[in-house]
Structure 1
């Protein structure tokens, strides 16, 4: 578990950096740069989708060359560069460029890093490992939001000063990454391998398709923050809402991962998708800011029940020599879907009101529940 802990530290530091910035972006874009909800959706959609094209490529390259650590370092370095570019951004176009570079870094590092975590663990404890990693990652988000909140409350209203501060933990994360050990399992995997969609497990292919369909209704979390802001919450209180989400996410990620080891991945994932549908329906119906606290806390449960568990499920089903490729393919499909998802959400918001994108997301969440139950109905896969 040494690598898992070390990756957790790296992700904690990197998320401190990212979450000092992320919850402020929709406010920065809308107030300082005059961007509309549709523009915010386009920025997030383009950045995530373009970066996602790299995820399957980097996963494939990691499996083929066994340079997983090197690719991971390169990816985290890209995120640092993105923060530096954000400091210089003077228009929403500059923010878009910053987000593309930042997400490209995530696209390069995600699959190789997750493959290293899978290679460093056994199937019986894989849910625990990914849950621990997600918990530490999200605890970094908690700390990052707290720092941003303290700076805002300390009358530091210049967002770019906060963007500058965010580069420090990002650099420390890259330094910590240098101490990751290459799992001995990597050395036994042949570099010559073949990949063909037709040869993948049927349930794996169905799950990847389902993940893509669900992602079409899962727009950027920035729409949740924008919803809170439009209901009248101040910037510091929006940060506190996002903090509540991350605390919930961090506290439940490890128990959810361990639970999937005990009762099966499918049951935990079904619960997570159902929670998503319920929360998005709540965001569509909410009229009072007091209700937002409960919604953001419960939304953290959705993330905890799905994020790490999905990766554990993919690692279980995928051939060991293709874990990086499959994890990268999943991340790519989800990320590519974010462009139309965020664009659709922005258009629905502009044309039909703030409730529309959340009704749409709730419907896609219920569709994911039904799809998952159908795919794993024989209980042979996705179970304990």
Structure 2
């Protein structure tokens, strides 16, 4: 067996630094997520208490908004690959999200909320794929998991700060939800400043020959990509919207002003886990981490199903956040590793399109179960689906290793 000389050993141990562009996109995600979570933390309460919406209606609104976003992600991914320019699409997507913040404070009916959510989700759909394509393009393969994990961690810092700001604003404003929605427009505007002036698109993407991409290629992704998409779909079906976790907080004893605190706890666990999980996946692969993430999801579902006190509920949200941290960044890195450079936008778009349809089905089912059977039932069904996903990954672990 040949021996490595000291120079080779040093090169093997020293990994490249995470690119500045990945850091800037993480900050952009952080700011937009602060804005989004300020709204999302209070929207289920506003829908149920202020507008009288049922759990079934809330589930459909949440699911359809995700479906709209993911259909848009597919189109933006294809456009990104055709044009070789991802940043303009990212600016358009984040811009629509920022504009939607001006609609939520005026909304006094369900159709106006649906309009605002649709605009926000279309923006999310447009920006997500080109943003991930840029991260994949600027990150060397040996630190790709770390780059995606970093962006997810910064994104979840926003998910931590947003609900915390919402709690403080609710207390200071005596529970005035619509005024909190107005405040949410501020970080969205700052997000646009960072994106326009500080994010640089890698020159390599738009210098590639346009002839290297054919539209038909977007529908001919390799088996490795489809294996990851199938895996993610199972996980997404088992994990429905956090809106139901927020509604469960009221049953556990939270007052409306303190409900956003549950998202603070969840995103703290998520954010503290995502970056280390990404770095670890670069060294040991993804299968073991994904199995661990599903173990946490099963525990979260079972805990939340029977959460009748604040502390049991808090434990459930921590477990949910640990699941998110161990799984979310890994799936993006797995797609990037399995896809040729000229099809990364299409691969991320297809990934988001398929999983978005699954989320629509899962959220609508969860809403129907909550409305028709009881609040514990969606969590129990989710635990059962998570067990099936865990068995599926364990039986085919070799197919889900990143190179």
Q: How many angstroms does 1:40 deviate by?
A: 0.5
1:323 to 2:344 alignment: yes
TM-score normalised by structure 1 residue count: 0.95
Q: Is the 8 A contact 1:12 1:140 kept in 2?
A: yes
1:353 to 2:374 alignment: yes
Deviations 1:281-306 (A, max 9, x none): 22123232220111111211111111
CA distance in 2, matches of 1:330, 1:316: 13
1:267 pairs, out of 288, 296, 307, with 288
Runs of 4+ with deviation above 6 angstroms: none
Q: For residue 210 of structure 2, give the secondary structure of its aligned residue in structure 1.
A: coil
The residue aligned with 2:230 is 209
The residue aligned with 2:148 is 130
Q: How many angstroms does 1:198 deviate by?
A: 7.4
The residue aligned with 2:70 is 52
The 1:204–1:372 alpha-carbon spacing in structure 2 relative to 1, beyond 3 Å, is farther
Q: Say what the alpha-carbon RMSD is for the aligned residues.
A: 1.6
The residue aligned with 2:202 is 183
1:29 to 2:29 alignment: no
Q: Is the 8 A contact 1:212 1:334 kept in 2?
A: yes
Residues 29-108 of structure 1 aligned to structure 2 (within 5 Å):
29-108=47-126
1:255 to 2:276 alignment: yes
CA distance in 2, matches of 1:122, 1:91: 48
Q: Which runs of 5+ in 1 are unaligned?
A: none
Q: Which has the larger radius of gyration?
A: 2
CA distance in 2, matches of 1:37, 1:199: 39
The 1:374–1:325 alpha-carbon spacing in structure 2 relative to 1, beyond 3 Å, is farther
Q: For residue 88 of structure 2, give the secondary structure of its aligned residue in structure 1.
A: helix
CA distance in 2, matches of 1:210, 1:312: 14
Q: For residue 233 of structure 1, give the secondary structure of its aligned residue in structure 2.
A: coil
Deviations 1:131-181 (A, max 9, x none): 111111111121111111111121442211111111111011011101211
CA distance in 2, matches of 1:274, 1:268: 10
1:226 pairs, out of 247, 253, 261, with 247
Deviations 1:247-282 (A, max 9, x none): 111111111110111111222122112211221122
Q: For residue 101 of structure 2, give the secondary structure of its aligned residue in structure 1.
A: helix
Moved more, 332-341 or 125-134: 332-341
CA distance in 2, matches of 1:345, 1:121: 38
Moved more, 154-163 or 70-79: 154-163
CA distance in 1, matches of 2:204, 2:136: 10
The residue aligned with 1:334 is 355
Q: For residue 214 of structure 1, give the secondary structure of its aligned residue in structure 2.
A: helix
The 1:198–1:103 alpha-carbon spacing in structure 2 relative to 1, beyond 3 Å, is closer
Deviations 1:322-352 (A, max 9, x none): 1111111111111122222111111111111
CA distance in 2, matches of 1:343, 1:125: 37
The residue aligned with 2:12 is none
Equivalent pairs counted in the alignment come to 382
Q: How many angstroms does 1:383 deviate by?
A: 4.4
CA distance in 2, matches of 1:43, 1:199: 32
CA distance in 1, matches of 2:385, 2:207: 41
Q: Is the 8 A contact 1:269 1:310 kept in 2?
A: no
TM-score normalised by structure 2 residue count: 0.91
Q: Is the 8 A contact 1:45 1:340 kept in 2?
A: yes
The residue aligned with 1:365 is 386
Q: For residue 35 of structure 1, give the secondary structure of its aligned residue in structure 2.
A: coil
